[in-house]
Amino acid sequence: MIPSIRLYFLLAIAIPIALLLAMLVNQQTSIIATVLFDGLILGLGIIDALRVKSHLVQVTRHPLHRLSIGRDNLVLLSVRSANQTAKIRICDSYPLEFDVSQALLETSLNPNTDEELTYTIRPQNRGEYQWGDIQVRQLGNWGLAWHDWKIPASEKVAVYPDLMMLKELSIRLTLENSGTMRRSQKLGMGTEFAELREYGIGDDPRLIDWKATARHERPLVRVLEPEREQTLVILLDRGRLMTARVQGLKRFDWGVNAALSLASAGLHRGDRVGVGVFDREITTWIPPERGQHQLSKLIERLAPIQPVLLEPDYVGAVTKVVNQQNRRALVVLITDLVDVTASTEMLSALARLTPRYLPFCVTLRDPLVDQIAHCSTVEITPAYNRAVALDLLAQRQVAFAQLKQKGVLVLDAPADRISKQLVDRYLQLKSRNQL
C-alpha cells in the first residue's frame, strides 16, 4: 500500500482535533481519540488498496525491436481497465543510459476502455541493453491509497545505427529512382544502351541510330541509361580520432550512419557495395555484393563495432582494397584529419588509388570548431580558443588541397549532416558517369 495525498491530509486533521480535545477535555482523552481516528483512517486506506486487486488494469509494452542511435524512439504501452474507473501511474524500467522524454506516465480510464500511452527514449550508444519490468500504481476508489505492483516485461533490446534515417532514405531513393531514370533516358544520358524509340523534338541528333532508321523507315534514337553494376567500396576508420563525441554521438557512430546511407544509395542504384572497417588492420571486411540483402548484412555486421584508441593504418586498408578489388571502383574513405603532418600517411595511401580507382575522402567535421572559429570575442581565453579553431580549419583546407591535387575527391561536412551530403554527392557522381 502506498498512501495518497488524501490519506496524509486526513491524518493531519487529527492534529487540530487533538489540540481542541486537550483544551476542552483532557490530554489523555485527546491522545486516545487521535490514535483511534488515525487508526480508522489507516484501516480504510489499507482496505482501499486491497480492493484494487479485484479490478487491476492490464498493461502491455509493445515489442521494441531495434532502436536507432541518436533518435527519439517511440515506446508504446497499451492499457486496459477493468469494470471500474481506474487512475494509474506507470513507470517503465528503461535503461538508465537512455534519455527519456517522460519518466512517469499518468492517466485515468473509464470502465472497460483501452488507451495507449507513449514516451520516447534517445540512446547515445550502440549495443545491447536490458529493459526491466513495468511498475504500476493504481489508486483505490476512495482515493486513500495506491496499490503498487510489477508486470513482468523484461527483455533485451539492441541499439543499432540510425535505422530511421535509412528508412527515410530508402523511400526518397525509390521515389527519385524512376523519375531520375526517365529523365536521363529522355536526355540520352548514360553509357549503357536501353532501348530504341522514335525521334522527338529536343532529342540529340547524335543519338539517331541510322541503321535502325533505315530498316524501319522512320527516325529512331538510342536511349541510354547510366551504367549499373559498378562497384562501391567504403573504408570506415575506427581509430583514435573517431572516438571523440560530436553533437552527442561518437564520431564513429556518425561514420557508421554515413556508410550505411551511402551503401543504401549504392544498392538502390544497382551497384555492388562492400565495406571495410579498420584501425591498425582491417578488422571487418564485407566483400562487395548487389541486392538489398547486402544492406541487412552490413547493418548486422557494423552494429556491434566500436571505435578504439589506436592510430589507423591507411596504407594497409588501401592495400586490402587493391588486393581484393581488380575492377575499377569508387573507394570512399570515411575518417577525420587534423593537419597535413598527421595525415601524411592518409594522403600517400589515397594517392596509390589513382588513376586505377576513383578515391573519395570524406571527413567528419565538428560543428563546435566552426562555431568557435566564427565567434568574435575580446576575452583572452575565448580568443585563444578561436585562434586554435581557425588554425585547425586552415590546416584542414591545406590537406584537402593536396588531396585534390592528387586526384582525390573530397567532402568535408559537419558530422551530423554528413550522411545527406554524402548521398547527394554520390548521386551526382553517378549521374555524371564519373566512375
pLDDT in tens, 237-254: 999 999 999 999 999 999
Rounded Cα distance, 115 and 119, in Å: 14
pLDDT at 179: 54
DSSP state of 84: S
Q: Which helix (H) or strand (E) holds 129?
A: strand 127-131
Which residue, 190, 178, 186, 180, is CA-closest to 204? Answer: 186
- Which cell goes with 429? 557522381
For 219, the enclosing helix (H) or strand (E) is none
Alpha-carbon gap, residue 278 to 288, rounded angstroms: 16
- The pLDDT > 70 percentage for the chain reads 93
CA atoms within 13 A on the CB side of 37: 19
> Up-side HSE of residue 294: CA atoms within 13 Å toward CB?
25
**Given the C-alpha cell 585563444, which residue does it identify?**
384
Q: Which residue has cell 508486470?
A: 151
Q: For position 200, what pLDDT does the model report?
A: 77
In CATH, what number does 231-431 get? 3.40.50.410
Nearest-10 Cα torsion for 208, 213, 219, 225: -40
- Three-class SS state of 316: helix
Task: Give me the residue spans of the domains in the chain.
Answer: 2-53, 55-160, 192-225, 231-431
Q: When comparing pLDDT for 59 and 208, which is higher?
A: 59
What DSSP line would sit under 53-94, residue for residue? GGG--EEEEPP--EEETTS-EEEEEEEE--SS-EEEEEEE--
CATH 3.30.460.80 is held by the domain 55-160? no
Report which of 18, 277, 4 is spatially closest to residue 144, judged by C-alpha positions.
Answer: 4
Please name which of 177, 159, 228, 234 lies closest in space to residue 418, comparing C-alpha atoms. Answer: 234
What are residue 149's DSSP bridge partners?
136
Q: Is the pLDDT of residue 192 over 50?
A: yes
* pLDDT tens column, 317-342: 999 999 888 888 999 999 998 777 76
Give CA–CA dist 165/261, Å, rounded.
8
pLDDT tens figures, 116-141: 999 999 999 999 999 999 999 999 98
CA distance 272 to 293: 12
